[in-house]
Amino acid sequence: MSIAVREIFGFLRPGAQRVGPIGLQFSDERINLVQLDRDGRGQLNLKASASIPYETTRDALLSDAQKVRTLLRSALGKGFRGRTVISAMPPEHVRMLSVAYRPEADREDADLILEQITERLDSEISDYVVDYLPVRTAGDERRALVAVTPAAEVITFLETLRKAGLTVDALEIGPVAVKRLVSAMTMQNQPNNVLVINFGRDVAYMTMISE
């Protein structure tokens, strides 16, 4: 879920020359971090990366901000700059939905999407954080990828990172973040279709994002 992405886009624009925020992922068994910078020619470069296994389960780690701080201390000492991060909610807390809708002249797309999502939730829409990405238009029908997360889970996750000494610029949807990176690295002929392939130990995931 993109909460505040102005700084992200500012960094990814070719004219920007600075170090970007740290990408932070809590995978099933490891914490993964990556940071990019942009040189004077506008090229994105890898500044630092780290992947460190947990000594406990992910749930146990995220329930203790001090454990997160300790793990991050060893990771961030590997060439990273700053403590500003872009992260993603653990996948078990995020529900991904595909929504098809027809635009209406007097209504915003967001309202049409929320109307459909509300019918598919178990409680009030105000109990959730919702973000969406338009992914396809076919004739007079549009389709969006929608991420839905209980607001309480989002607040707990953000508080854990804050207590661990981090500043969170944004929460992202994994495949969307990769798509944005691919687009930023492709200076010409911006791709309309991006296939994101994520290889795990037991399962591989493929996500096609089409605009």
Note the pLDDT of residue 9.
44
Note the pLDDT of residue 211.
58
Q: 176: which residues sit within 8 A by CB, 6+ positions away?
A: 2, 133, 145, 209
Query: The tokens 């392939």 sit on which residue?
Result: 197
What's the average model confidence in pLDDT over 185-205?
67
Q: What is the largest CA-CA distance in the chain?
A: 54
Highest mean pLDDT (candidates 1-5, 110-114, 173-177): 110-114
Which band of pLDDT confidence, cut at 50, 70 and 90, is reported for residue 64?
very high
CA distance 122 to 179: 31
**197 or 131, which is more confident?**
131
Does the structure show a pLDDT above 60 at 155?
A: yes
pLDDT (tens digit per residue) in 81-93:
999 999 988 888 9
What phi, psi does 6 have (nearest 5°)?
Answer: -60, -45
CB 20 within 8 A of CB 37: yes
Note the pLDDT of residue 8.
45
Count of alpha carbons within 13 angstroms of residue 118, beta-carbon side: 9
CB 182 within 8 A of CB 191: yes
What's the average model confidence in pLDDT over 35-42?
81
Does the structure show a pLDDT above 80 at 13?
A: no
For a pLDDT cut of 70, what percent of the chain falls above it?
A: 81
Does the structure show a pLDDT above 50 at 7?
A: no
Note the pLDDT of residue 6.
43
SS3 content of the chain, % helix, strand, coil (to 5): 30, 35, 30
What's the average model confidence in pLDDT over 103-121?
89
119: left (phi over 0), alpha (psi -120 to 50) or beta: alpha
